[in-house]
Amino acid sequence: MAYKINTTEYMYCSSRIRALENQIMGKDFISSLVETSSYEEVLNRISEKTGLISDPDGVIDVEGMLEKIFSDACTLIEKLTPDAKMYEFLRYGYDCNNIKTAIKCRVRGIDPSGMLFECGTKTAEDAVAAVAGEDVGYPANMAKAAIQAQEIYAKTKNPQGIDICVDKACFADMLENAGKYGSELSVKLVNTRITLINIMICIRLISMNLLNSTGEKLIREALVEGGSFERDFYPEACAGGLDRLFEMLEYTDYGKFAAFASENRDNLGLIEKYADDRYMEVAKEAKMIPFGPEVAIGYLVAREYEVKNLRILTSAKRNRISPTVIRERLRESYV
């Protein structure tokens, strides 16, 4: 039986979320932080804005503070919305990172404490237990990959195999969750992310001259299932180099992205930023919907990007990077 969404059930939570959007550290606030004179001043202003203060010794746990912003947003959505499972796909990326980190630490005999996120659908301890073979309730594909990725590494000794295996499983679970519980926007967001990731994989492989006689095999092994294009699209496009790839994307929904990537082909960091901004464009479609599950989806993406920008900003300020360079690295904001 198909999951049915009753949008009227979201009227109250949608109005609450719209009000909470005013608390997001958006473009204007982030821009003001870029102009601050020191790393310490940035931390103090973020601490004041969030209400998250330093410990008794006056030390601010930057990563803990940033992670709590998104974690608190997830907790809030769980309390406000009729069905919190609808939004789990937005948290699977953190589960994915935890599993990958736990596996790499396990094979190297390293304690993963302090390296894992607490804002996924499962705890850091669950990730460690899953790679040890325990069933802790991860979505089916990631649960399987937690073991399978270790077997791949045992055969190849290549840590990249761990990343590819778990990443593919994560996106499969994201598509399943979005398709089962979510709105059209949920599915569009996941497919947009998959498409952009696959395009970026092609750009990187071509730019690094890694497509030799085994190029098609390499591409197919790296590609994520799903997205806007069939799997055969990418090997064909890559066979002709970057120009052919961008040409085949020109008259698709990714034509604007292809034009930008073509003009900036020597700057992969800038292209990755533009890909993130393209994802945010899709998320912003939620702003046009008065009430419904999309409002909460937009809010969670907004909070995630808020944290991403604050992480970029704090790292850059700590390393005394110029405001001009910082602005070039910042992602598009929801507000």
Quote the percentage of the chain above a pLDDT of 90: 75
For position 52, what pLDDT does the model report?
Answer: 65
Query: Could you give the angle at the alpha carbon of 328 between the alpha carbons of 324 and 333, nearest 5°?
Result: 120
For position 237, what pLDDT does the model report?
Answer: 87
- Residue 221's domain spans which residues? 184-290
CA distances from 300 to 75, 251, 263, 264 (A): 11, 31, 32, 30
Q: Rounded to a whole number, what is the distance in angstroms from the first to the last CA of the chain? A: 37
- Domain for residue 195, yes or no? yes
Torsion of CA 220, 331, 283, 117, to 10 degrees: 70
For position 54, what pLDDT does the model report?
Answer: 56
Separation CA 313–CA 225 (nearest Å):
33
- Domain for residue 44, yes or no? no
- Domain for residue 284, yes or no? yes
Q: Give the SS3 label for residue 119.
A: coil
- Domain for residue 206, yes or no? yes
Phi, psi of 60 (to 5 degrees): -95, 125
DSSP alpha helix (H) spans, the chain:
11-20, 27-34, 39-50, 62-80, 92-108, 124-131, 140-156, 159-181, 184-207, 215-222, 233-238, 241-249, 255-263, 268-283, 293-318, 323-329
Separation CA 70–CA 303 (nearest Å):
6
pTM above 0.75, yes or no: yes
Residue that is written with structure tokens 């120009």 in the block: 243
Secondary structure tally for the chain: helices H, strands E? 16, 0
For position 207, what pLDDT does the model report?
Answer: 87
For position 56, what pLDDT does the model report?
Answer: 55
For the chain, list residues with pLDDT below 70.
1-2, 52-59, 182, 212-215
Residue type, 75: T
For position 212, what pLDDT does the model report?
Answer: 67
Separation CA 249–CA 148 (nearest Å):
34
- Cβ proximity of 103 and 143 under 8 Å: no
The two three-digit tokens of residue 284, written as one number:
């912003």
- Domain for residue 127, yes or no? no
- Cβ proximity of 279 and 193 under 8 Å: yes
The two three-digit tokens of residue 169, written as one number:
């499983």
pLDDT tens, 189-237? 999 999 999 999 999 988 887 776 566 777 888 899 999 999 889 988 8
- Domain for residue 157, yes or no? no
- Domain for residue 321, yes or no? no
Domain count, the chain: 1
- Domain for residue 329, yes or no? no
pLDDT tens, 34-68? 999 888 899 888 888 887 665 556 667 888 888 88
CA-based max dimension of the chain: 60
Separation CA 110–CA 103 (nearest Å):
10
To 10 degrees, what angle do helices 184-207 and 255-263 make? 30
